[in-house]
Structure 1
């Protein structure tokens, strides 16, 4: 008996960690506000790197950033920044660390004003995932979301990063035709 061959998006065939991420997480609609924020922050850390690097360090990021609890991260001080800059388990970029702390403060401000981050994120697509073409690296929608995030003060949220985040959290379904997850996410 031969094993059944599974066809995935090409980017996910590089190693077992990427395969597992693709098969169980990437493109699955996320509605949890904290998880949407965590993923956006991790996508910001990816800037200039590969997602594989971030995925391999994700648990270290979670430990270093208090489980991505926005209330805890918003209260980080210079001492915490120094601790994070010394943590070899994460990407040690002062600008990205400071952007994550500021992002937590913005997230908390939105929540305090009664604006749910999940509702905000999904408002751009009327709460429904949209179908991508599997080829784009940005779109006019990603540009609009990026512009609004920047207006609110978020950093490392350019259109390409935002589009990668939209794919990761299932706002856009970009599984390639032929991928077993195409139309299944």
Structure 2
């Protein structure tokens, strides 16, 4: 196998965790509402940071936030929040931590109003993955008209840390869009 060059999207470093995430998760369509909720929450935690930072803390987030079960998250009280703010296993940013609690309540409100989170999210792309044909990472946008609309709709429902750039990263991570560069091995798997 020596001499065979494996090409991945340029944002992937040599960390095995990052490689696994890129190869097995990023850009693969996710339809389960609670998994989509998790991805959205984690993308919000990334704001101003690199994704690998959040990825390395993802299991801690899952543990501390009840596997992103919104109905359990909303039960967290002020003492729980204070403990989270001093827990080095996650990003200790009050606004980001509170956004998870806030967004859990928003998720529940949507369900109680008969609105399925997955259906809502996938409606922005007509329930079909957008496959882009970028040849260079410089072509990949940080936001699109769709992510701007998604951000606005989420904010109207009360969600926090869902700006248009975060929404586009969420769309990439959850497979609403496939932004693997054309020569990436993940593009060539299809």
Q: TM-score, normalization: structure 1?
A: 0.95
- 1:153-172 residue pairs with structure 2 within 5 A? 153-172=158-177
Question: Which of 119, 124, 145 matches 2:150?
Answer: 145
CA deviation map 1:53-96 (0-9, x unaligned):
00000001111111111100012111110111121100011101
SS at match of 1:9: coil
CA deviation map 1:123-145 (0-9, x unaligned):
11111001234511111110010
How many residues were matched structurally?
185
CA distance in 2, matches of 1:46, 1:164: 10
Q: Which runs of 5+ in 2 are unaligned?
A: none
Q: Which runs of 5+ in 1 are unaligned?
A: none
Aligned-residue offset at 1:13: 3.2
RMSD, matched Cα = 1.4
CA deviation map 1:146-181 (0-9, x unaligned):
011111111111111100000000001100110011
Q: TM-score, normalization: structure 2?
A: 0.93
CA distance in 1, matches of 2:145, 2:162: 14
